[in-house]
Amino acid sequence: MNFCGVTILTDPVLFSRIGIRLPFLTIGPKRLTEPALTFAELPPIDLVLLSHAHFDHIDRRTLKLFPESTRVITASQTRDLLRRTKF
């Protein structure tokens, strides 16, 4: 979404599975359809908006793809879920 020149991406999940990440494996639901765009196809993202604390809305593996300069907005009580990320 582009709002007044700011590119916003909501709840990005760009991998084939979401859930608990183990070495070489993610335990959780498999996507039924591929994402509309790959990470490389996305325009530069100014802001990532995380709507709520369900694992299909806060995909830390996807968030790790974004540069540290990307702003991430989430509810204050959800902030602890981002502890092991750069945001």
Q: How far apart are CA 8 and CA 29, in angstroms?
A: 26
Domain count, the chain: 1
User: Domain for residue 59, yes or no?
Assistant: yes
CA dist., res. 1 & res. 10, Å (int) = 8
pLDDT at residue number 27: 86
In a domain, 87, yes or no: no
- 49 touches 9 (CB < 8 A): yes
Mean pLDDT per 10-residue section of the chain, whose length is 87 residues: 92 86 86 91 94 79 90 82 69
Record the pTM: 0.79
For the CA atoms of 62, 68, 74, 78, what is the dihedral angle to 10 degrees? 80
Residues ≥6 apart with Cβ < 8 Å to 32: none
Domain that holds residue 58: 2-82
